[in-house]
Amino acid sequence: MGALATKNQGDPAAIAKDTSEHVLVSWSAQAGLKPLVITGGQGSWLHAGERRILDFSSGLINVNLGHGYPSVVRAIQEQAEKVCYVTPSFAEESRAKLARLLAEVTPGDLSKTIFTTGGSEANEHAIKIARLYTRRHKILTQWRSFHGQSQGAMTLGGDNRRWAAEPGITGVVHFLNPDPYRSVFGADVDKALAHVEEVIWYEGPEYIAAILVEPIPGTSGVLVPPDGYLAGLRGLCDKYGILLMFDEVMTGFGRTGRWFGADHEGVVPDVMTFAKGVTSGYVPLGGAIVSEKIAKYFDDHVLWVGSTYSGHPLACAAGAASLAAYRDDGIIDRGARMGEKLLAQLRKLAERHPSVGDVRGRGLFAAIELVKDRGTKEMLERWNGPTQALAGALRAALMQRDVYVFCRWNMLFIAPPLVVTEDELAFGVKAVDEALEIADRYAATGRLS
C-alpha cells in the first residue's frame, strides 16, 4: 500500500484522476466535473503548476490573509512539533491564547468561546446556547441568509440549499431582509424594523430565544443593511428580552474593513459566531463567543455542546497567529483602504455594462448583481433557479483570464485577500470588465455565446 500511495505523487493527471474517481464534490452533480489541480499558493495567487491564478474571491471568502502567510504557516509548524491534539477537557496553550485574543478584539463584553471546526457547527452551538439560556425555543432569522450546511444551520438560512435538508429543525422563523436595491423596504430602516417587530408579535416574544443575522448577508448577495438597522435589532431584542446573535463567519476578521461587521454600528451581540478568516482558512476552525452574562449562566448550568475537535491545537495556533497578523501588521486598515479602491473601480466599470444592476459592498467584500433591465431590475438569472448557466459562463470566462471569482446565479462576489495589491486589483477588475460582455450579450439576446 505504501508504494501505491506514493505512485505518481504530485502528478496533476493522477491527482485529477483520483479526484474524479474518489472525491465527491459538494453542491454539484458529479458527472463531467473537471476541477483544476492546484499545486500551491502565495499571497493573492493560486498556482496550478506554472500557471498563476488571481484568487479574487479569497477562496470561499475565507483566505483573508492570502495564501502562505509566513507567520501563520510557521505557527502551525511549531505547534505540530509540540503537540497536535489535546482533548477539549484539558487546557492547552494555543487554545487558551486564541480565546483570550478573541475576547480582546470582539465587541463589548464578549468573553468566552466554545470552539468548533467551522461555521455550521458554530451556529448549531449558538442555537443550543440560546435555547438553554432563555429556556425558549424559537429562533428568528432572515430569508436571504446562509448559516451553514448541517441540519439546524441549514434551516436557519433561507438559501435554496436548505431544500434538500427539509424538513429541518423546528422553531425557526424567517423575516424579510432590508435590501436597499431590491427589497420592499428599500433603504427605509424604520419600515424594515417595524416588519421584524410585527413578526415578533405574531410569534410571541415570550417564545423567542434569539434573533440571528449576518451583519451583511454574504452568499445571498452582500446585502449591506441601511445605517441603524443592526442597532435597531439590538433595541428590539432588549425591548422583548430576546438574545441578539451575529453570524460573523464571512464578515469577520477584517473582511468589511473593521474587525467585525458589528463594529460599523458599534453594536454588541449576546452571541457571535465566527470561522473562515479566524485562521484565514489554513486549518478548519470556528466558534461561538458569548457575553459575560451568558458565560456566567453556564457556571452552574451544563453547557450541552461539544465535539472531539473543539479547540484543536493546530487550528488554534493558526488562529492566534492570524489574529496577531491582523492586529500587528496593519492588515485590517490596509484592507479597508483597498476596499475603497475596489468599490470605486467596480462602480466605474458598471457604467460601461448595461447588465450591471447594482454594485455594493463594504471593505473587500463586494458583489455585482446582474439584471436584464435596469429599470425593472429583472434578474438576469433567477435566484434559487434550477440552473446556473450564466454563473458558469462567467466563471469560465474569468478563469480563461487567470482570475478566480465566486459566481452564483446573477451575482459575482469580488472579495480578494486583504493583502491584495493595487496592481492585482487592476488585473482582476480588467478580467471582470471583459467577462461582463457575456452578461451584456445575454441580457440583450438571451444567448450566452
What is the C-alpha separation between 15 and 284, in angstroms, rounded?
Answer: 22
What is the C-alpha separation between 407 and 405, in angstroms, rounded?
Answer: 6
Q: What are the contacts of 102-108 at 24+ separation with CB within 8 A?
A: 102/274, 102/287, 102/289, 102/323, 103/289, 105/259, 105/323, 105/326, 105/327, 106/259, 106/260, 106/272, 106/289, 107/260, 107/262, 107/263, 107/266, 107/267, 107/268, 107/269, 107/272, 108/268, 108/291
H/E segment holding residue 141: strand 138-142
**237 and 213, same structural domain?**
yes
Domain presence at residue 14: no
Mean pLDDT (the chain) is 94
- Number of structural domains, the chain? 2
Exposure string of 269-285, with b = 16+ CB inside 10 Å and e = fewer, is bbbbbbbbbbbbbbbbb
Write out pLDDT tens, residues 266-285.
Answer: 999 999 999 999 999 999 99
Picking from 129-143, 160-174, 280-294, 418-432, which range would have the lowest pLDDT averaged per residue? 160-174
What is the C-alpha separation between 58 and 324, in angstroms, rounded?
Answer: 19
Picking from 27-31, 332-336, 389-393, 419-423, which range would have the lowest pLDDT averaged per residue? 27-31
Task: Give pLDDT, residue 30.
Answer: 86
**191 and 233, same structural domain?**
yes
Task: Give pLDDT, residue 320.
Answer: 98
Write out pLDDT tens, residues 55-81.
Answer: 999 999 999 999 999 999 999 999 999
> Given a cut of 90, is residue 229 above it in pLDDT?
yes
**349 and 230, same structural domain?**
no
Domain presence at residue 26: no
Write out pLDDT tens, residues 234-267.
Answer: 999 999 999 999 999 999 999 999 999 999 999 9
- Averaged pLDDT for residues 222-234: 97
> Given a cut of 50, is residue 139 above it in pLDDT?
yes
Model confidence at 5, in pLDDT bands (50, 70, 90)?
Answer: low
Write out pLDDT tens, residues 296-348.
Answer: 999 999 999 999 999 999 999 999 999 999 999 999 999 999 999 999 999 99
**363 and 243, same structural domain?**
no
Model confidence at 368, in pLDDT bands (50, 70, 90)?
Answer: very high
Is residue 42 classed as helix, strand or coil in its secondary structure?
Answer: strand
Quote the cell numbers at residue 340: 475603497
> Given a cut of 90, is residue 383 above it in pLDDT?
no
**317 and 354, same structural domain?**
no
**228 and 308, same structural domain?**
yes
Angle between helices 313-328 and 70-82 (to 10 degrees): 150
Query: Nearest CA to 419 among 325, 318, 279?
Result: 325
Tally of CB atoms within 10 A around 186: 14
Write out pLDDT tens, residues 142-190.
Answer: 999 999 999 999 999 998 888 888 899 999 999 999 999 998 998 899 9
Task: Give pLDDT, residue 397.
Answer: 97
**191 and 97, same structural domain?**
yes
Task: Give pLDDT, residue 9.
Answer: 67
**48 and 145, same structural domain?**
no
Q: Taking a C-beta distance cutoff of 8 angstroms, is the pair 254, 326 a contact?
A: yes
Task: Give pLDDT, residue 449.
Answer: 79
Domain presence at residue 124: yes
**300 and 346, same structural domain?**
no
What is the C-alpha separation between 127 and 153, in angstroms, rounded?
Answer: 9
Class of residue 104 by CB neighbours under 10 A (exposed 0-12, middle 13-18, buried 19+)? exposed
Write out pLDDT tens, residues 77-126.
Answer: 999 999 999 999 999 999 999 999 999 999 999 999 999 999 999 999 99
The reply to whether the predicted model has a pTM over 0.75 is: yes
Report whether the peptide linkage leading into residue 386 is cis, meaning its omega lies within 30 degrees of zero: no
Domain presence at residue 263: yes
CATH assignment at residue 190:
3.40.640.10
Task: Give pLDDT, residue 32.
Answer: 83
Task: Give pLDDT, residue 274.
Answer: 98
Range of the domain at 50: 38-68+330-445
Distances (CA, A) of 263 to 107, 216, 260, 266: 7, 12, 5, 5
Domain presence at residue 173: yes
What is the C-alpha separation between 286 and 355, in angstroms, rounded?
Answer: 37
Model confidence at 1, in pLDDT bands (50, 70, 90)?
Answer: very low
CATH assignment at residue 371:
3.90.1150.10
